[in-house]
Chain A
Amino acid sequence: MYRYDEFDRQMLEDRTSEFRLQTTRRLAGEITEEQFKPLRLMNGLYLQMHAYMLRIAIPYGTLRSEQLRRLAHVARTYDKGYGHFTTRTNLQLHWIKLRDAPDAIESLAEVGLHAIQTSGNCIRNVTADPYAGATADEIDDPRVWAEAIRQWSTVHPEFSYLPRKFKIAVTAAEKDRAAIRAYDIGLHLRRTRDGELTFEVMVGGGQGRTPYLAKTVREHLPAHRLLSYLNAILRVYNRESRRDNIHKQRIKILVNTLGVEEFTRRVEAEYAVTDGADIDLPDTELAAIRSRFHVHAFDARPAKSAAFEAAKAADPEFARFTRHNVHPHKAPGHAIVDVSLKVPGETPGDATSEQMELVADLADRYSKGEARIHYTQNLVLPHVKLDDVPAVYAELAKAGLATANIDLITDIIACPGLDYCTLANARAIPVAQSIARRFADMDRAELIGELPIRISGCINACGHHHLGAIGILGVDKKGEEYYQLSLGGSGDEKAALAQILGPAMPPGQIPDAIDAMVETYLTIREDGERFLDTVRRAGLQPFKEAVYVEAR
């Protein structure tokens, strides 16, 4: 995986000193809270309900074991011994003291971690396919490009005070595991028939109160021109977006106000007069970034593992784990192992310091020292030999990390909600817990099959409710928490926004409503249909009836 060199390290050191200085100036009253706010946000520090929250970047979701161990250490030393992995593949610590923040950040910097641009109106932490470099269905490692974007966008002189936040995601596989069409810019790397690497550039996706899927502005951008094309998009956005209404300042609003044709025309006009030589990385530097990923050599192994098959035959729970949490690897005899942070009844995405340390140890012993964060708030061990999967499973099970529910009904995304977040209208975590408890029977969950539920505590949609096969949005109704259901969304390569089902309901009715929809699905599904497929085929009506008619 990518290793920072001396330059990257000095950037982090200087950033740490700068933030220490800015904090000192704030504490001394030299700068106002209004002036300090964007500075601390660009260093990942939010003021929340109870304390400061530190949002630590995990660029393109990739961690070395020593970095994961350091996250555990920082969570234990400066917080309450646990952290929350987010849909942006960041780690949030929710109980930080402002005076401790520079020390926490300095500790992170020692292992090449940081909180740079995890918040604020700038180019945020870049995300990528969590299976990058491991999955067979990619044509190149998208993290090379994500890292190029990270460098270009870090402390960018022109694009650090944008109208609003700006998020970029990259994939190089046809199966979209990074929800790229929900991003301000989604990038899909492909190879043309004559072998050239090109990006499909999609712009203007986003969730929040006005959700949009990103629209294609360039079908085949030569990959080595990526940064100059991004520069053109950002410049058009920075200059032409509204700045008079915070709810209308994302690029999705500009794209949809101008229309994608006119927006594209403006970007292309800017790009036509952009001097790429000033911006694009030379091929030699791209190659150098690639080499700093230290691509692993995988042992030649037989595609089938006797030990793996024997364990499957001997232990039905392990067999279940392999059905849901183990995925094909590009190297024969290897597997990608998903580590679920969705124990029914617990907080989705939370991990204790001990759990992080265990995953770090397993990464060292079995996964080439590497772990990943998936935007579904789970962890991944990307490079496990099939022979070793039973041992990994046994270790995970001991730590409560072997829940075999990836993509099942209990693999719920939930934002921190009103338990932590000042923006929230309603709690998300207890709703997720109540649903997961209802479906804790693994046999039933498996019978139901793939069913992504996404819960947000407010319209900002951090819990991706627009992209859930079942989406749940918390709203405030005269001081009471109510929840609005929607159906049919997905963030994959066939991305669609969920449609609202009907009137909102109090939290106590949610598990029954979900149960009623699940029963309807089980009754009317056709062969091989997932819940999402049935909703898209049959429409909302049968589910509406199940929830609002039969329930009475």
Chain B
Amino acid sequence: MSKLVKRDGDVAWWVEDEFVFVPDEEQVPATGDIIVTMGRLLGEGDALLTSGRRIGVRLQPHEQVENLAYDLPQLAVVELVFAKFRDGRPYSTASILRGRLEYRGEVRAIGDVLREQALHMVRCGFDAFVPADGSTPEEWMAAAHRYRHVYQRANDDRRPIFVERDMIASGLGHNRPDEVEA
């Protein structure tokens, strides 16, 4: 079993990956939690989702997450593939999953997953990572918190600067800017 970095809020730790990815050309094993392709999920979804185990789906960068909208509440994991760290499509996919589709299960980053992009992944709503550069949970979260402030709202609970400014202006936050929490 491989390990992955699991995150909740600002904390992260190692967990064993309890899921097995089953490629399309292989038979689905009789038991155990599995991750399948979107094609397989959409084709065999009903049988899989009622087989008494946790099911996840793996999305390639070009695949449209909207196609999963109907199945999402049944899915334990949505795994988004970074084909190349420079291919930024999974950031949009994760943002839509967490935002518009209100998905609350695990959103996992796999593929060319590197610490220098940790901030963007965390902010877009990823909460599980298989770092390709051997980053530890501590290193991962440190990279995700290099900035004390953010300019825009995203799928984390960080307040954007324009809200922080407004809170100070209206006296709600008596923190001075340099004391505002990260």
Contact = CB atoms under 8 A, between A and B. Distances in A.
B166 A160 contact: no
A212 to B, nearest CB: 23
Contacts of A243: 61, 87, 89
Interface string A1-40: 0000111101100110110011000000001000100110
Q: Which of B87, B124, B146 has the most CB of A within 10 A?
A: B146
A273 B151 contact: no
B51 interface: no
A158 B176 CA distance: 29
Q: Which of B119, B123, B151 has the most CB of A within 10 A?
A: B151
A158 B152 CA distance: 10
A78 interface: no
Given A14-B146, A39-B116, A161 B88 contact: yes
Given A39-B116, A239-B89, A285-B166, A157 B151 contact: no
Interface of A is mostly: helix
B150 interface: yes
Interface residues of A, number: 42
Contacts of A282: 162, 166
B149 A7 contact: yes
A194 interface: no
Given A7-B177, A238-B89, A275-B99, A156 B152 contact: yes
Nearest to B90: A161
Interface string A251-283: 000000000000000000000010100110110
Contacts of B169: 284, 288
Contacts of A155: 119, 147, 150-151
Nearest to B95: A158
Contacts of A31: 114, 116, 133
B149 A10 contact: yes
A235 B92 contact: yes
Contact of B152 (A18, A239, A275, A279): A279
Contacts of A210: none
Interface residues of B, number: 39
B75 interface: no
A162 interface: yes
A151 B161 contact: yes
Interface string A372-390: 0000000000000000000
Contacts of A14: 146-149
29 contacts: A5-B165, A5-B177, A7-B161, A7-B165, A7-B177, A10-B149, A11-B147, A11-B151, A11-B161, A14-B148, A31-B133, A35-B114, A151-B151, A151-B152, A151-B162, A152-B152, A156-B152, A157-B91, A158-B124, A158-B154, A162-B88, A239-B93, A243-B61, A243-B87, A278-B99, A278-B153, A279-B152, A284-B166, A288-B169
Given A5-B177, A157-B95, A162-B88, 6 more contacts: A5-B165, A7-B161, A156-B152, A157-B123, A157-B152, A235-B95
Q: Which 3 A-B pairs have the closest CB atoms?
A: A161-B88, A157-B123, A6-B177
